[in-house]
Amino acid sequence: MRVNGVEHAPPADPRRLLSDHLRHDLGLTGTHVGCEHGVCGCCTVLLDAVPVRSCLMLAVQAEGHEVTTIEGLAPDGEPLHPVQQAFHEAHGLQCGFCTPGFVMSVVGLLAQHPDPTPEQIDEGIAGNLCRCTGYASIRRAVARAAELSNK
């Protein structure tokens, strides 16, 4: 499987979750693990450019596919991805635990709706939980991300 543009061998153990494989085997700890049953959205990554829950996939299922994690959105030293930049500008994070999942979900949302309505923003982030409850800033960050992406 390709992870952030680099080819990796799949794990030997088929029961290894994609989320655990990314974190423990590849050291990509930007993908966070919260509930591990698909509710919190923290572990969201892109599979062939589409956001999915990495805790609800076996790593071996990603073989032959392209996985993008939060680390792959903007390489070190490069400008932030527009969605990351927008979360920074609009204070779309507090403790930051949920942020990688939100950012990956929003990348998918903007691919589907480049100019989302407020309702589409709410629905697009409804699958991610922020226990700091910073949703008002996150909504503003999504709107800002759309602006930055459309520039």
Partner 1 sequence: MKPPPFEYHAPTTVDDACSLLGSLEDAKVLAGGQSLMPLLNFRLARPAHIVDINRISGFDRIYERDGGVAVQALARQAAVEDSELVARVCPLLRDAVRLVAHRVIRNRGTVCGSIAHADPASELPAVLLALGGSVVARSARAERTIPADELFAGVFETALAADELLVEAWFPRSPSPSAIHEESRRHGDFALAGVVRAGERLALFGVAPTAVLADPSDPTQGIQPSGDLEASPEFRLHLVRALTARAFAA
In contact, 45 and 52? CB cutoff 8 Å:
yes
Helices 82-89, 99-112: axis angle to 10 degrees equals: 120
Exactly one of 88, 115, 123, 131 binds partner 1 (CB under 8 A); that residue is: 123
Q: Which is nearer to partner 1, 38 or 75 (CB)?
A: 38
98 binds partner 1, rule: CB under 8 A: no
- HEC secondary structure over 43-89: CEEEECCEEEEHHHCEHHHHCCCEEECHHHHCCCCCCCCHHHHHHHH
133 binds partner 1, rule: CB under 8 A: no
126 binds partner 1, rule: CB under 8 A: yes
69 binds partner 1, rule: CB under 8 A: no
Q: How far apart, in Å, do the first and last CA atoms of the chain sit? A: 32
Exactly one of 4, 32, 51, 100 binds partner 1 (CB under 8 A); that residue is: 51
44 binds partner 1, rule: CB under 8 A: yes
Q: Which is nearer to partner 1, 60 or 80 (CB)?
A: 60
CA–CA distance, 139 with 58 (Å, rounded to integer): 31
Strand order in the sheet with 6-7: 6-7, 2-3, 66-68, 44-47, 50-53
Q: Which is nearer to partner 1, 30 or 127 (CB)?
A: 127
Segment near partner 1 (CB under 8 A), from 70-78, 81-89, 104-112, 141-149? Answer: 104-112
Residue entry with tokens 């590849």: 26
Binding site for partner 1 (CB under 8 A): 14-17, 20, 36-38, 41, 44, 47, 50-53, 55-58, 60-61, 105, 108-109, 112, 123-124, 126-127
